Structure 1
């Protein structure tokens, strides 16, 4: 939904004054957002989930190669519980965002 014409003209005038008063700041506002800002939050959560899972697997493999029970347990905990925590957090966030009937 667009702005009414008079509001759009006012906004354009404000943008023009800003560009004249502080061109560096105005240029910062016009820049395109970084790539990770263009992704949906669900995609970012999935990427984070996969990265945490890989870190847990690397800890397990390192623990096995060093015969370290502590690293194996830590890796197993990260691999098992972090994804569950992220899924539960996503589920709770989605539950809050849904309108109630």
Structure 2
């Protein structure tokens, strides 16, 4: 959703005045954000979900190769439970963000 034309003109004027008054500070504001700040929250959640799932699988595989029931159980729990927690939190957040009506 874009700004109205008059709002955009006001912001442009403020930006010009800031650049004239304090060019050093204005240059700090122009810097591009780090890559992870440019990604939408949905994409970040998906990436974290996949990473947690892969870590759980690696722990399961390590447990199988070492014949360790503890590692197998831990990896299975991480692989099964963590994605469910993330999905439920996302669902609750989206449900709370929707306008009631």
Task: Please give the TM-score of this superposition, normalised by the length of structure 2.
Answer: 0.83
Residue 3 of structure 1 and its aligned partner are, at CA, apart by 5.0
Q: Distance in 1 between matches of 2:23 and 2:41?
A: 32
**Pairs within 5 Å for 1:44-63:** 44-63=44-63
Structure 2 segments unaligned to the other structure (5+ residues): none
1:4 is matched with 6
Task: Please give the TM-score of this superposition, normalised by the length of structure 1.
Answer: 0.83
RMSD, aligned CA: 1.9
1:80 is matched with 80
Q: Distance in 2 between matches of 1:90 and 1:15?
A: 36
Structure 1 segments unaligned to the other structure (5+ residues): none
Structure 1 residues 42-74: Cα deviation after superposition (integer angstroms, max 9, x where no partner): 111111100000000000011111111111111
